[in-house]
């Protein structure tokens, strides 16, 4: 093993027994992996809160418990001064432990551990999304973490360098500031191995959650997936949800998305000159398989709804607050929305927490149902499995990770759906197999003024403008569900654009020939949509905040669209 002079001094005990033992463990870890040298670690997230495995009846402090558990001796503890340590998602930090069925004794002892760690310089965030709390590594930075979805996010999105290890190896690295130079810590090892062609719906956060679960089910062990396809560039919320689900069902540690992630601006860049080992196609059938696995069959009462795994962003909390405004959670139902402490403070300052609380929900920090013991103080030998789910009738989650893992924690049915479905369930107290009450009004952002009334022409996959729409206004795209229909005097309902940069001109060409839509509805605006809307000048609404109209409106429905206020109403269903 090649060691620097500083590392040799650390091994000799010059910097204390804890660092000596931690580096000894890291060296043994490196040798087991076949690594020839170590690299410096500058950021770490690790467990601090009182987990069950931290229970030592005679050891009352975090340093004593952690060093005894991870190093084998009860020792004075210090962390590497060049490594920013932040605690991972632990027991809840909330002021009312009764909200999650915790005993006061368990809560107080957990917070004593937090105080101990703070005195050692550990930042207290208690979140599975430390990047939402300022813990953001740069590209090429060597880090360690105990959160598997954070491994995927940091490797893939930030271009940082991190392997999945475990609580033990992460603690060793945080103490001695070193980790094996192996795996994802070496640039040449980060190339993609398997190509996944995305052929399923990818419009919403829920879509990406299901996509991550399906990808994990499909991929071989230790694959480094490369995603390709004609999908809209995902936002942070979609990626964090996707990576959490993918980490649940696979051993993936890095995921390249062509044109999105920094090491995959092209497919060739992602592969680094290697040939892919295998190629897969993710279809709606695979997505349906994941949905069926995650959601209990049938309908039933629900008394617990949990949202925010990974922890909710400020955008997601804002969306939830807007959707809940004026509604009330059914009596006897607990609605928990989990987030990181800094995000909760922003949401509180912005009034979002007030709206959620007025509706009967609670915004919680520091944990989630998966890692929240209800606080019994039984010794390890007598401890039984217990979580906030104990005694529930039924639960609903918007997270594939939660729905997947928690099946073994309760005999109650666990249901899985998107944010809006789960919020509706919290209000009604009952999970239904349909999509809930039929939505007849939508609020979006008006972009081209004018009030129009007409029949809807719904295109769930948009329309391929270039060579997909004829100059006479007829859809000629082969295989399109509305192939052969004309856009004349219809209100077009579609997620966004699709295909060539000539998309807008295709509609303009039909317009010049006297064929144009009466109005336009875009689930989410993009530059080609905006170009077409402005060029044609027909009434248009986009960026809907209370549901996706593509999923609720049917071709032939009579629609009233206000391009000034952004309001869209269904006046009459085609089936009526």
**Residue 436 counted as domain residue:** no
Encode pLDDT of 264-314 as tens digits: 999 999 999 999 999 999 998 899 999 999 999 999 999 999 999 999 999
44 and 165 in a single domain? The answer is: yes
Q: Which two tokens stand for residue 257?
A: 């998305």
- In whole angstroms, give the CA distance from residue 209 to residue 204: 9
Q: Enumerate residues 6+ apart whose C-beta is below 8 A from 496.
A: 232, 462, 522, 523, 524, 525, 526, 528, 529
111 and 236 in a single domain? The answer is: no
- Of the listed ranges 154-168, 306-320, 532-546, the least confidently predicted one is 532-546
- The domain in which residue 528 lies consists of 441-572
Domain CATH number, residue 456: 3.50.30.10
- In whole angstroms, give the CA distance from residue 492 to residue 510: 14
Encode pLDDT of 490-520 as tens digits: 999 999 998 888 888 889 989 999 999 999 9
- Model-level pTM? 0.75
237 and 272 in a single domain? The answer is: yes
**Residue 210 counted as domain residue:** yes
**Residue 446 counted as domain residue:** yes
Instruction: Out of 187, 216, 233, pick the residue that ends a domain.
Output: 187
Question: By C-alpha distance, which of 189, 192, 129, 134 is closest to 161?
Answer: 189
Domain CATH number, residue 354: 3.30.499.10
98 and 200 in a single domain? The answer is: no
Q: Which two tokens stand for residue 207?
A: 């879509």
Instruction: Out of 159, 187, 215, pick the residue that ends a domain.
Output: 187
Q: Is 85 left (phi over 0), alpha (psi -120 to 50) or beta?
A: beta
Q: Residues of 233-258 as b/e, b for ≥16 C-beta within 10 angstroms?
A: ebeebbbbbbbbbbbbbbebbbbbbb
318 and 379 in a single domain? The answer is: yes
- In whole angstroms, give the CA distance from residue 218 to residue 289: 11
pLDDT > 60? residue 558: yes
**Residue 527 counted as domain residue:** yes
86 and 205 in a single domain? The answer is: no
Number of domains composing the chain:
4
* DSSP symbols for 369-396: TTS--------GGG-----TTTT-S-EE
Return the SS3 of 485: coil
18 and 121 in a single domain? The answer is: yes
> Strand 194-198's sheet: what is its strand order?
256-257, 225-228, 194-198, 278-282
How do 395-397 and 414-416 pair as beta strands?
Answer: parallel
Instruction: Out of 156, 187, 218, pick the residue that ends a domain.
Output: 187
CB 421 within 8 A of CB 294: no
**Residue 488 counted as domain residue:** yes
How do 143-145 and 43-46 pair as beta strands?
Answer: parallel
277 and 163 in a single domain? The answer is: no
pLDDT > 60? residue 45: yes
Classify burial at 431, counting beta carbons within 10 Å of its beta carbon; exposed 0-12, middle 13-18, buried 19 or more. Answer: buried
Displacement of CA 287 from its chain's centroid (Å): 16
pLDDT > 60? residue 436: no
177 and 256 in a single domain? The answer is: no
384 and 405 in a single domain? The answer is: yes
226 and 355 in a single domain? The answer is: no
465 and 568 in a single domain? The answer is: yes
Encode pLDDT of 59-88 as tens digits: 678 898 889 888 999 999 999 988 888 877
């Amino acid at each position: 093993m090649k060691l620097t002079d500083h590392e040799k001094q650390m091994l000799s005990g010059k910097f204390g027994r804890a660092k000596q033992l931690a580096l000894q463990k890291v060296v043994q870890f490196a040798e087991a992996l076949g690594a020839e040298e170590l690299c410096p670690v500058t950021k770490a997230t690790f467990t601090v809160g009182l987990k069950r495995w931290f229970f030592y009846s005679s050891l009352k402090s975090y340093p004593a418990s952690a060093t005894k558990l991870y190093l084998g001796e009860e020792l004075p503890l210090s962390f590497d001064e060049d490594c920013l340590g932040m605690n991972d998602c632990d027991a809840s930090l909330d002021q009312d432990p009764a909200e999650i069925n915790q005993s006061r004794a368990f809560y107080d002892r957990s917070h004593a551990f937090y105080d101990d760690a703070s005195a050692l310089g550990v930042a207290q965030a208690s979140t599975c999304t430390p990047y939402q709390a300022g813990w953001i590594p740069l590209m090429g930075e060597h880090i360690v973490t105990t959160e598997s979805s954070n491994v995927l996010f940091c490797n893939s999105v930030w271009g940082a360098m991190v392997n999945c290890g475990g609580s033990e190896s992460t603690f060793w690295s945080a103490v001695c500031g070193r980790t094996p130079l192996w795996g994802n810590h070496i640039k040449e090892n980060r190339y993609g191995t398997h190509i996944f062609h995305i052929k399923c719906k990818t419009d919403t956060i829920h879509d990406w959650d299901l996509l991550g679960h399906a990808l994990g089910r499909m991929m071989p062990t230790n694959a480094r997936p490369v995603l390709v396809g004609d999908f809209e560039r995902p936002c942070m919320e979609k990626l964090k949800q996707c990576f959490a689900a993918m980490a649940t069902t696979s051993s993936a540690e890095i995921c390249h998305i062509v044109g999105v992630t920094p090491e995959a601006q092209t497919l060739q860049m992602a592969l680094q000159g290697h040939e892919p080992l295998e190629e897969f196609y993710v279809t709606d059938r695979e997505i349906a398989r994941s949905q069926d696995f995650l959601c209990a069959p049938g309908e039933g009462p629900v008394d617990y709804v949990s949202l925010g795994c990974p922890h909710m962003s400020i955008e997601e909390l804002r969306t939830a607050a807007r959707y809940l405004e004026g509604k009330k959670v059914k009596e006897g139902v607990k609605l928990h929305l989990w987030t990181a402490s800094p995000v909760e403070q922003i949401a509180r300052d912005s009034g979002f927490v007030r709206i959620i609380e007025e509706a009967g929900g609670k915004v919680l920090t520091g944990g989630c149902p998966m890692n929240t013991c209800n606080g019994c103080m039984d010794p390890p030998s007598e401890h039984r499995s217990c979580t906030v789910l104990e005694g529930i009738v039924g639960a609903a989650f918007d997270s594939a990770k939660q729905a997947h893992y928690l099946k073994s924690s309760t005999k109650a049915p666990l249901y899985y759906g998107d944010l809006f479905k789960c919020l509706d369930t919290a209000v009604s107290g009952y999970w239904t197999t349909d999509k809930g009450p039929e939505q007849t009004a939508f609020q979006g952002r008006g972009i081209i003024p004018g009030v129009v009334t007409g029949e809807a022409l719904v295109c769930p996959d948009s329309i391929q403008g270039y060579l997909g729409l004829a100059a006479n206004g007829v859809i000629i795209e082969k295989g399109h569900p509305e192939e052969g229909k004309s856009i004349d005097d219809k209100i077009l309902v579609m997620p966004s654009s699709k295909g060539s940069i000539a998309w807008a001109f295709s509609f303009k060409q039909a317009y010049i020939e006297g064929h144009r839509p009466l109005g336009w509805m875009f689930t989410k605006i993009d530059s080609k949509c905006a170009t077409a809307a402005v060029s044609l000048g027909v009434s248009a609404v986009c960026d809907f905040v209370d549901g996706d109209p593509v999923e609720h409106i049917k071709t032939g429905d009579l629609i009233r669209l206000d391009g000034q206020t952004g309001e869209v109403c269904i006046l009459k269903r085609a089936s009526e």
